[in-house]
């Protein structure tokens, strides 16, 4: 599995986590509470944690193309849903 992570500074970490997971839950398996969430796409998975003013995101997928897709889907939706915050999602590949 390939893994990438991002820590996004947001005053609405918990709200954004719930928005993302609720949105994705209409099409794929997703579970969440105020502090943690998981989304399971056919091409990879996303794990989210809200801690204070940080939203930590970990994505994983079996290949480079799938990982790029998970990053694009999760990061892109977050930026759109929180447009009023002008968020930046910077991914870091992990071993």
Domain housing 14:
2-90
The answer to whether the beta carbons of residues 8 and 52 sit under 8 Å apart is no
Any domain includes 38: yes
Any domain includes 28: yes
Reported pTM? 0.95
Q: What angle do CA 43, 49, 54 make, to 5 degrees?
A: 120
Total domains in the fold of the chain: 1
Return the CATH number at 74: 3.30.310.50
Any domain includes 37: yes
Any domain includes 95: no
Any domain includes 23: yes
Residue 4's CB is within 10 A of a number of other CB atoms, namely 21
β-partners of residue 56 are 7, 49
| Contact residues for 38 (Cβ-Cβ < 8 A; gap 6+) | 21, 30, 31, 32, 45, 46, 47, 48
- Tell me the mean pLDDT in the region 14-23: 97
**Residues 42-95: tens digit of each pLDDT:** 999 999 999 999 999 999 999 999 999 999 999 999 999 999 999 999 999 986
Of the candidates 68, 84, 94, 80, the one whose C-alpha atom is nearest the C-alpha of residue 7 is: 94
């Amino acid at each position: 599995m390939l893994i990438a992570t991002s820590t996004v500074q947001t005053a609405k970490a918990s709200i954004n986590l719930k928005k993302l997971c609720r949105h994705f839950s209409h099409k794929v398996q997703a579970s969440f509470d105020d502090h943690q969430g998981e989304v399971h796409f056919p091409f990879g998975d996303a794990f989210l944690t809200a801690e204070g003013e940080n939203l930590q995101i970990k994505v994983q997928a079996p290949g480079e193309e799938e990982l790029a897709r998970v990053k694009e889907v999760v990061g892109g939706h977050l930026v759109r849903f929180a447009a009023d915050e002008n968020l930046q999602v910077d991914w870091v590949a992990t071993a």
